Structure 1
Amino acid sequence: MAKSRLFRSTMIVSSMTMLSRILGLVRDVVLLGVFGAGGLMDAFLVAFKIPNFLRRLFAEGAFSQAFVPVLSEYKEKYSLQQVQILVSRTSGALMLILSMLTVVVILLAPWVITLFAPGFADQPDKFNTATELLRLTFPYLLFISMTAFASGILQSYNRFAAPAFAPVLLNLCMIGGALIFAPMFDTPIMALGYAVAISGLLQLLIQLPQLWQQKLLVAPKVDFAHEGVRRILKLMLPAIFGVSVTQINLLLNTVFASLMIGGSVSWLYAAERMSELPLGLIGVAIGTVILPSLSKSEAQKDDISFKKTIDWAAKLIVLVGLPAAAALFMLSDVLMQALFMRGEFSLRDAQMSAVALQSMAGGILGFMLIKIFAPAFFARQDTRTPVKIGIISVFANMIFSVIFIGIFYLLDKPLHGGLALATTGASFVNAGLLYYCLQERGIFRFGAHWKKLFLQFFIATFAMLAVLYLLLPYFPTDASQWRRILILALLCVAGAVTYGVVLIATGFRPRQLKHG
């Protein structure tokens, strides 16, 4: 029963995430079509990336990874009343910290923009626009962090639908802001700032009914002396770095990109959004679902179930991540032309975004593996190991950035491609070191059955690439956008069918994906 529930929960999160990602893709097509690449769009992306980065750092990243294991332990050992007290005290502490941070950032917005986008300093219009947008968007961090808090509670009680649906509201608000409200503003892009803040509040509100059903909609109270709160903060502080290294690396790319030619921030953004599609559909979904399960296994000291859960998650990750990375690399040009080349987003913008996507595609598998390896440590309330590895990964990203930017400069290639390639390298450093520690400590290792699995996955991926290579010349670069999208969809279907057929021909069977 528990095994089927885990798979069902994954499907719920994945399907809701798919809806969110599809709407996110529509959102990006609309934004880039309305506002183009560079100029105001660069300003908005920097302003939005700061609270969004902190959201993933504090809320969905470190806080969730620290809070869920402690909450799971309280569920197993204590009464509902004790759980309610933990929820009340934790929400009070979180709201106080985030409210203070929000006020500080709004007051110091110009200095924050200077820190995160130093290249804007000599462009007054872009700098001032980014500053105002940061003040509008930053309250989103408070709302979305409380949303993540509520989601963590619901996920611990196997309620995944509402938390997974919440991001849909962000996409709908931003699409509405760009198409409906932007023309009403003297500076149209300001509409996106309001849309982001409003979406955060809406995402929080839709969690409240289910919290009430679980009898966990309790009033916040500040009490940093509470044992559970102290443990969460103790686990959270190092986890801030360990679980969000990918986002730190991507943010460093934004800092570097702000110093490059106009449009670099937007080109990297378009590539990141495409690479996040498979990451969000499978990597984030599985990482979200397995953390409560791993935490429960750890609380019950069930090492066998713990290992089987990671092994099951790894199968799904490699099954999807390997062909997704290969396909995004092969289809990077046609993807950008089919989806984004419209309105203010030109052919050059599509080509420059494709350069970043090619460099970033290889890291998708690394990003996805991090999503299941890191929770294995956090479920055991071990935050030190991911932190140490995270520090190594960030330094690796900086070193790779210098090396690859230098290589791209010597080869006369767009420099932002070097930044994307550095992120790919850092992701594998991170995932590789996490796996090494899991293996050395006897927590998890790829067993003998993985030799055959890896061979099957690679053969099927190679066959898929061969078919895509043969079909690519038929892509109509000068056709209408709808026809380009249709042909792109057919290419994707052909690649997916080839991958599935060849995978089954090698002896792989769907029953191998059963948990345990």
Structure 2
Amino acid sequence: MAQSSPSSSPDLGADSTSQSPRLLRSSLVVSTMTMLSRVLGLARDVVFARFIGAEAGADAFFVAFKIPNFLRRLFAEGAFAQAFVPVLSEYREQGSRAAVQELINRVAGCLGLSLLLVTLLAVLGAPVLTAVFAPGFVGDDLKFGLASEMIRITFPYLLLISLTGFAGAILNSYDRFAVPAFTPVLLNVALISAAVLASPYFEQPVMALAWGVFAAGVVQLLFQIPFLWQLRLLPKPEVNWQDQGVRRILALMAPALFGVSVSQINLLLDTVLASLLPTGSVSWLYYSDRLAELPLGVFGIAVATVILPNLSRQHAADDPGTFTSTLDWALRMIFLIAVPAALALVILAEPILLTLFQYGKTTLADIHMSTLSLRAYALGLLAFMLIKVLAPGFYARQDMKTPVRVGIIAMVSNMGLNIVFVAPLYYFWQIGHVGLALATSVSAFLNAYLLYRGLRREGAYQRKAGWGVFGLRLLWANGLMVVVLLGALVGLGELGFTWSEGLWWQRTSYLAVVCVTGLLGYVLALVLSGMRLRHLRHQSV
């Protein structure tokens, strides 16, 4: 790559990592925007529960939506971002603005052409995709036909949202975190509008949701364009497979498909197997997975999004001290959030599901089944979030081989655990879907442990002082939070309140009181143990 003087603009040329914003502040910005998106996402799922429930049409839509959405995560939040951001950061650190623009143009051209070809093949072969990803639908003309038809409508979302993810990766690399974090809000708005306004006009109401997915992809991509224009980095697509930067990104991206997205691959395998279980299993897993992903998306992905460009710049600047310090900060933030979130989900699983989804076509039996799988997913929440921050430790250093090895081990383990857990849970208790969630959680811990061990062995991460005191504070605070939450639930029961029979406003208000009380107990316990805001800050320098 040609070397040249930095741009006069501190935003667009090579710059010092000392200009990076504080990680806590950036994480809070992303978390706030993501929280807005996730709240609307929950509202979207409440609408889904009311309009489509857990019937055959719902199962078909969730399969049709999950396939491109899974691939979106590989591109927008996974392999593409992990491969593209380190290379782009290196170009910023060592090259000129012209070199950065050239890289962006050529990546846009090659990525866009590849996605267009994949989308065309998927649209033409929709029935094949249905048979592969939902083999249990074969023989059920209604489910199979609906899923195939909706895949033809929803799959172009992959093209649109992957290009949106490409734009977001550029913005994140220039510390413009708010816009990409806000963009998913538009998906939820589009789907809620489709369900409420358009579904009555379709013979099969779920078809309106498929068109809502397509419309959301268009809107999300268009939303990013003005902000790229402000940075003067609007792509001018150019197909050049021989470009050095493009070839490096492709070389990094191929193995990253396994390393960074194992948990998503496991969730997709869950969908395949769930399609073989009783009707409703796909939907039960969907609703429980959505709730488990709330803390993961609001904070886990937020921290990962912020640290990747910082770690990449620190590696490019040959600053191992700050690199390990950034990772250490991220790990502490994950423990601080993931442990209480997991415990709260286990304790409040049924009240949350009843409050959000027990309306319209969703029955008490559906809520019971979703509660069981939510608790199983909650057990793995810490591991899911750890993976999100440990993987960037490898990708920032452009090491893809180690995460690939770890990913393969975790995937094979998940498949074996599916057999171990699903068969007995299905045949003895008719809750095979819980085994799928439990297997995913256990394999996630194996994944996280192997990533952590790899970083330690390579010397990329060294624990900083203070973990012992930090652990004791967490133990005390989480213990108090559990006591507070259980006490609040018992108190409501003694007052005669029943979650399954309460009105929607009663459920919502009581759940809010319980959650806020538990949160206050957790924060108060941390403060009493000596933790202060300064302990949460980290400056990337």
Aligned pair 1:268/2:285, yes or no?
Answer: yes
Shift of 1:2: 4.5
Aligned pair 1:495/2:492, yes or no?
Answer: no
Shift of 1:437: 0.6
Q: Partner residue of 1:95? A: 112
Amino acid at match of 1:100: L
Amino acid at match of 2:202: F
Query: 1 CA distance for matches of 2:328 and 2:411?
Result: 27
Contact 2:22-2:537 within 8 A present in 1 as well: no
Query: 2 CA distance for matches of 1:487 and 1:445?
Result: 44
Q: Partner residue of 1:166? A: 183
Q: Partner residue of 2:498? A: 476
Map Cα deviations across residues 413-435 of structure 1 (whole Å, 9 max, x no partner).
Answer: 51111111011101101101000
Amino acid at match of 1:335: I
- Pairing 1:304-323 to 2, within 5 Å after superposition: 304-323=321-340
Shift of 1:215: 1.4
Amino acid at match of 1:503: L
> What is the DSSP-based 3-state SS (H/G/I as helix, E as strand, rest coil) of the residue aligned with 1:331?
helix
Query: 2 CA distance for matches of 1:228 and 1:397?
Result: 35
Q: Partner residue of 1:212? A: 229
Query: 2 CA distance for matches of 1:81 and 1:220?
Result: 15
Structure 1 regions of 5+ residues with no counterpart?
none
Map Cα deviations across residues 265-293 of structure 1 (whole Å, 9 max, x no partner).
Answer: 00000000000000011000010011000
Contact 1:38-1:264 within 8 A present in 2 as well: no
Q: Given the alignment, which residue of 458, 475, 485 partners 1:441?
A: 458
Amino acid at match of 2:121: V
Contact 2:20-2:175 within 8 A present in 1 as well: no
Contact 2:421-2:439 within 8 A present in 1 as well: yes
Query: 1 CA distance for matches of 2:455 and 2:356?
Result: 40
Q: Partner residue of 1:119? A: 136
> What is the DSSP-based 3-state SS (H/G/I as helix, E as strand, rest coil) of the residue aligned with 2:502?
coil
Q: Partner residue of 1:180? A: 197
Aligned pair 1:364/2:387, yes or no?
Answer: no
Moved more, 308-317 or 475-484: 475-484
Query: 1 CA distance for matches of 2:313 and 2:392?
Result: 12
Contact 1:235-1:381 within 8 A present in 2 as well: yes
Q: Given the alignment, which residue of 259, 263, 270 partners 1:246?
A: 263
Shift of 1:445: 3.5
Q: Partner residue of 2:4? A: none
> What is the DSSP-based 3-state SS (H/G/I as helix, E as strand, rest coil) of the residue aligned with 2:477?
helix
C-alpha distance 416-496 of structure 1, shift in aligned 2 (>3 A): same
Q: Partner residue of 1:458? A: 475
Query: 2 CA distance for matches of 1:267 and 1:481?
Result: 21
Shift of 1:444: 1.2
Aligned pair 1:513/2:533, yes or no?
Answer: no
Amino acid at match of 2:511: L
Moved more, 92-101 or 407-416: 407-416
Aligned pair 1:7/2:24, yes or no?
Answer: yes
Q: Given the alignment, which residue of 84, 89, 93 partners 1:67?
A: 84
Contact 1:71-1:83 within 8 A present in 2 as well: yes
> What is the DSSP-based 3-state SS (H/G/I as helix, E as strand, rest coil) of the residue aligned with 1:206?
helix
Q: Given the alignment, which residue of 254, 263, 272 partners 1:237?
A: 254
Q: Partner residue of 1:37? A: 54
> What is the DSSP-based 3-state SS (H/G/I as helix, E as strand, rest coil) of the residue aligned with 2:22?
helix
Query: 1 CA distance for matches of 2:453 and 2:61?
Result: 39
Contact 2:22-2:538 within 8 A present in 1 as well: no
Moved more, 53-62 or 440-449: 440-449
Q: Given the alignment, which residue of 328, 334, 350 partners 2:351?
A: 334
Aligned pair 1:46/2:63, yes or no?
Answer: yes
Query: 1 CA distance for matches of 2:531 and 2:412?
Result: 39
Amino acid at match of 2:115: L
Aligned pair 1:429/2:471, yes or no?
Answer: no
Q: TM-score, normalised by structure 2?
A: 0.94
Query: 1 CA distance for matches of 2:225 and 2:36?
Result: 21
Query: 2 CA distance for matches of 1:389 and 1:343?
Result: 43
Moved more, 281-290 or 473-482: 473-482
Contact 1:144-1:203 within 8 A present in 2 as well: yes
Map Cα deviations across residues 100-142 of structure 1 (whole Å, 9 max, x no partner).
Answer: 0000011110011000000000211110000000000000000
Query: 2 CA distance for matches of 1:3 and 1:449?
Result: 25
What is the count of residue pairs matched by the alignment?
516
C-alpha distance 462-167 of structure 1, shift in aligned 2 (>3 A): same
Q: Given the alignment, which residue of 203, 207, 223 partners 2:220?
A: 203
Q: TM-score, normalised by structure 1?
A: 0.98
Contact 1:335-1:488 within 8 A present in 2 as well: yes
Query: 2 CA distance for matches of 1:10 and 1:507?
Result: 23
Shift of 1:4: 4.6
Map Cα deviations across residues 6-50 of structure 1 (whole Å, 9 max, x no partner).
Answer: 322211111100000000000000011111113100000000000
Contact 1:38-1:265 within 8 A present in 2 as well: no
Moved more, 53-62 or 336-345: 53-62
Q: Partner residue of 1:403? A: 420
C-alpha distance 5-449 of structure 1, shift in aligned 2 (>3 A): closer
Query: 2 CA distance for matches of 1:445 and 1:451?
Result: 15
Query: 1 CA distance for matches of 2:76 and 2:355?
Result: 34
Moved more, 493-502 or 505-514: 505-514
Contact 1:169-1:202 within 8 A present in 2 as well: yes
Q: Partner residue of 1:77? A: 94
Amino acid at match of 1:300: A
Q: Partner residue of 1:16? A: 33
